[in-house]
Chains A and B, each alone.
Chain A
C-alpha cells in the first residue's frame, strides 16, 4: 500500500506524457475504429424509420472524435498515477451511489441518475471503471497476500459495497457486470483456485436467497428467457421479436438498409440495446461473424497487453477492462439471440449512447496507457 504513494512521492512518474502517443497500439486502435465505423453504418440504417431531428448516426459520429480524444488523453496519463488515486475515486463513487439512492432522479421505475446543475450523471456507469481501478490498486498493493483468505474476502467486500448500492437502484444489469470483473481480476492477481471455487459454491447456495431479493419485473425477465413464447406481448416481446429479426436475416442478411423488422419498429430500442439484431438482420450470419471476430481480436489483443504489462497494476487494469467489455458483448448479444434475460446492457462501440460510449473509450484509453509501458523493465 505504501509503495504506490512512495512512487508518487519519488517523482519517477510523469503524470502526463504526450510522448506516450508514439507508443500507440495500432491493432487495438484499428479494431476500435472499425467497430465504431460499423456502429455508425448500422445506425445510419435506422434513420429510415426514426424521425428524430438529429439522426442517431450523426450524433454518434460526433461522439467518436470526442471518445478518441478522451482515449488518447487517458493514454498520455500514467495509469500508475490513476491507480494511486483509486481509493479517492472509490470513496467518491460510494458517495455518489448513496446520493443517488437518497436524492436521485427517477425514471422508468428506477433511480439511477444524479442531477448536478445541467448535467445528469449516472454513477453506476462510472462505477465499473472506478471499481476496476480500486481492485487494481488493492490487489497490486497486497501482492501475493491475495492467496490468504482474509485478503481474498476483503476483495469481495470492496466490490460488494458498490454492487449492493447499484442493486438497490435497482440496476440488475450493471450490478451483474461487477461479478465477472472481480473474479477475473482476483484470478489474474494469483489468488488460490480453491478460494474461487469455494466462493462459487457459496454463491450457488446463496442464490435462492438472492432470488427473493429480486424485484418482480426482474424475476419476470429471468423467467421469460426460460420460455419466451409464454409471454409474447409482454416481457417476451423483445426476445421473440429479436430472434425473428436475427433469424430472418439468414446467412447473408437482407442487405444493407433492407431490414424490415427493425425498420417497421417491431423491435424497439434497436439503436441501443438491440443494435446487434439490426446488424444481423441486414448483414446476416456473415456480418455477425465478422463483428464477433473483431471483438474477439480486440479481447485477445487486450489480454496480450495485460500479459506484457511490466506491473501487476497494469495487468489487473487490462484484465478487468477486458472482462468488463467481454461481459457486455457476451450478455448483450446473448440477449439479442434470446439466450439471456433482457437487462438493458448496451453493446460496446456499436450501441448508440453517449455516456456508455465515452466510458468504453475511457477503457480503451486505459488499455492504451497500459500498453505504453510494455517491455519496460523486463
Chain B
C-alpha cells in the first residue's frame, strides 16, 4: 500500500485509467456505428421521409362553370355564375395596435361579437402564430366591404379574402332546373379519391347534379415547403386569385414555392335553351297554384320554359344563413323538390284525344268525313252501364274536327273501339307517352299508358288462377280513349304531342342543353291528317259568335293562329262530385286537374305549350287564360326592344326630314 495517501500511484493504477479510456472509446464506436447505419446504410429511406415531410401541396380552388340561358332574343344570359364572396380576415402580425382596439373598431363597423374575436386573437397569440388568418366575418356584404376599405388606415391587419361562391342570378326562377348544391359528405369524400375536399360543394339536383363533372373545374396546385406546425396562409386579389409572393405560414415562416404553379382550371360552361324571361313569366302565372307549364320550340324540341310550382331558390343552399329555409324546402309540403313538368304524372284527360285522333287518322280507322252521332252516352254490347259524354245532351253528329273542338267523348269512345288498345298503345309510345320522352334531365318519369301486356304483367303474378283479374276488358279501352282510367302523363309529354301537331307531325325530342340538339326526323302524321287535327284545335280556341265558342276560347288572341285543347284530369271518382250541388262547393283537393295544351302556328318560332293546374277543375277556365298570357309575353319579348326601335326611327327622322 502506498504510504502517502495523496499519491495517486498504486499497483495497477495506469491500467485502470486505460480501462476507463477503452470504455469511452467503445462508447464512441457505438455512436459511430449507429451514425453509419443511419446516414450511410439507411440514407435513402430517411431522405425520402425528409422530402415527404417538408413538401406540401397547396390547393388552389377552381371556380365552377357557368350556366347560360336565353332571354327573348338575347342569348348567353347568365343564369348561374360565381360571385366573389368576401371574408373579412385579421392577421395579428400586421397589426400595430392593441387587439382590443381593433376588435372594438370592427365591432362598431361591421357588428361582430367583440369578445369572441378577441378570444380567437388571444389564442393565436398564445400559440405563437401571429400570422394565422382569423376569420372576422364570413361573406360580408359589398357595402360593408366598402366601409372596411374606407377605414383601412384605422384597421391595420384587417383584409378581405375573396372566394368564389355560386350565385343564381335569377333567384328562384328556374331554380329547380338549375338545382342546388351542398357540402360533400364523408362517404363521398372517401370515394372521390381526393377529387373533393372537406367543405366542397357538390351538385345535388337539376343541372348542377347532372353536369357536376363538366361544371366542376380542375383545382390548381402548388408545391410549397412546409414548416412542421404552421399552416400556409394564402391571400387573394379582388378576383379571388391567390397571391403567391410572400407566402407565409401561420407562424410567419416564409414558404418557398417549389415548382411552377399549376393554376386552377375553371369548370366548363353549359348553355341551355331555357328562356329565362319566359320561365319567369310562366312561374309567375302559376303563383299560388301547384302546377306545371312546358313551353317547347315546336320545330326543334328546344325547351323554352319548364315551370313548376312551387319551386325554390337554390341560392338558399349556398348562403351562409338560411338553415330553416333549407329545411323547409327539403321537407315542406307541397313538395318543392320535384319538377312537376317531367317528374310528376297526371291523368291526361281530354288532351289524349289529340293522340287518339292522330292514331285513328294514320291507321285509317277514320277520315275527314267519318262521323259518329253523340247522344250523350255510349254503350258497349253486354255492358249495362253506359259511358257518358261530358255533355249529357250530346253533340249530335260530329266529325273528327268537331270532336276535337268540342271534346266529344262519344266520338273517341267509338274511335277507341275500332283502334283497339294495342294500336292505341303503339301510337302512344311513338309520341313518347307511357315512355320517357328523353329530356336531358335526371329523373324523368314515363307516365303510364295501359296495355294488355302491362295488365298481365302487373296482375297475373298476384292472381295467377283468376284470368278475370288480369284480362283486358273492352270497357278499359273506352276509358283509355278519353285519357281516363289508369293512363297518366307528364305535362312534358303533352307538349311533345302538341309540338308534333304544330310542326307537321314530327316527334320532337325535348332538350335543355344546347349541346344535345337533335333535328326531329321521325314523321308520325301526314300533312293531310295534321291539318285536320289543327283545324279541330283551332276551332277549340275560337270565340263566337259568329263561330261556336270552343272550350279553349279563353286562349284566343285576335290575329294569332292559336291551337288549343282543354282537358280535365279526373282526380277522384265522379261519385265524390255528385254529393255537391254546384261545382264551387267541391273542395279544392277533390277538384279535377285542369289541362290546356296549346300552340302557335303563324309566328316564329312556333311554340307548343302544355299547362297543368292541379285541382284547377276545368282546363277552359283555369288553364287556357294562362296560355294566352304566355303567347302574348313570348312574342312580345322577341320583338326588338322598344328603345331600340325608337332610336332607329328617330335617326331616320333627323336624317331625312322633309318639309
A247/B8 in contact, CB under 8 A: no
B28/A289 in contact, CB under 8 A: no
Segment at the interface with B among A30-38, A124-132, A261-269: A261-269
B225/A312 in contact, CB under 8 A: no
Binary B-proximity of A284-328 (CB < 8 A = 1, otherwise 0): 110011001001100110010011011111110001001100100
Tell whether A190 pairs with B39 under 8 Å between CB atoms, given A247-B47, A292-B32, A303-B20: no
- Name which of B5, B7, B18, B53 has the most chain A CB atoms within 10 A of its CB: B5
Considering the chains assembled together, what is the distance between the CA atoms of A319 and B19 in angstroms? 11
Considering the chains assembled together, what is the distance between the CA atoms of A291 and B35 in angstroms? 12
With a CB–CB cut-off of 8 A, which chain A residues contact B1? 143-144
Residues 223-259 of A at the B interface (beta carbon under 8 Å): 243-251
A247/B39 in contact, CB under 8 A: yes
B226/A264 in contact, CB under 8 A: yes
Partner of A246, one of B2, B6, B18, B35: B35
Considering the chains assembled together, what is the distance between the CA atoms of A219 and B23 in angstroms? 27
User: Is A333 close to B, CB under 8 A?
Assistant: yes
Tell whether A264 pairs with B54 under 8 Å between CB atoms, given A319-B20, A326-B24, A339-B34: yes
Tell whether A260 pairs with B252 under 8 Å between CB atoms, given A296-B24, A330-B31: no
Min CB gap A273→B, angstroms: 16
User: Is A168 close to B, CB under 8 A?
Assistant: no
Secondary structure at the B interface, as helix, strand, loop or mixed, is helix
B8/A315 in contact, CB under 8 A: yes
With a CB–CB cut-off of 8 A, which chain A residues contact B19? 187
With a CB–CB cut-off of 8 A, which chain A residues contact B35? 246, 280, 285, 288-289, 292, 337
Considering the chains assembled together, what is the distance between the CA atoms of A103 and B1 in angstroms? 48
B20/A184 in contact, CB under 8 A: yes
Shortest Cβ distance from A334 into B: residue? B31
With a CB–CB cut-off of 8 A, which chain A residues contact B21? 299-300, 303
Shortest Cβ distance from A313 into B: residue? B6
Min CB gap B278→A, angstroms: 60
User: Is A9 close to B, CB under 8 A?
Assistant: no
Residues 315-373 of A at the B interface (beta carbon under 8 Å): 315, 319, 322-323, 326, 330, 333-334, 337-339
Min CB gap B465→A, angstroms: 71
Considering the chains assembled together, what is the distance between the CA atoms of A184 and B228 in angstroms? 42
Partner of B225, one of A244, A248, A264, A307: A264
Tell whether A337 pairs with B34 under 8 Å between CB atoms, given A49-B253, A261-B53, A264-B228: yes
Shortest Cβ distance from A184 into B: residue? B20
A143/B39 in contact, CB under 8 A: no
Segment at the interface with A among B9-17, B339-347, B554-562: B9-17
With a CB–CB cut-off of 8 A, which chain A residues contact B27? 326, 330
User: Is B375 close to A, CB under 8 A?
Assistant: no
Min CB gap A352→B, angstroms: 19
User: Is B40 close to A, CB under 8 A?
Assistant: yes
Considering the chains assembled together, what is the distance between the CA atoms of A323 and B20 in angstroms? 8
B2/A247 in contact, CB under 8 A: no
Binary A-proximity of B465-488 (CB < 8 A = 1, otherwise 0): 000000000000000000000000
Considering the chains assembled together, what is the distance between the CA atoms of A249 and B227 in angstroms? 18
A188/B228 in contact, CB under 8 A: no
User: What is A's interface to B at a CB cutoff of 8 Å?
Assistant: 3, 49, 51, 140-144, 184, 187-188, 190, 243-251, 260-261, 264-266, 280, 284-285, 288-289, 292, 295-296, 299-300, 303, 306-307, 309-315, 319, 322-323, 326, 330, 333-334, 337-339
Known A188-B16, A303-B20; 15 more pairs at CB < 8 Å: A49-B227, A51-B252, A188-B13, A244-B53, A247-B46, A251-B39, A260-B53, A264-B226, A264-B253, A285-B39, A292-B28, A300-B24, A303-B17, A311-B7, A330-B27
User: What is B's interface to A at a CB cutoff of 8 Å?
Assistant: 1-2, 5-8, 10, 12-14, 16-21, 24-25, 27-28, 30-32, 34-36, 38-40, 42-43, 45-47, 49-50, 53-54, 225-229, 252-253
Interface CB pairs A-B, < 8 A, 10: A140-B6, A250-B43, A284-B39, A292-B28, A296-B28, A309-B8, A311-B8, A322-B20, A333-B31, A337-B34
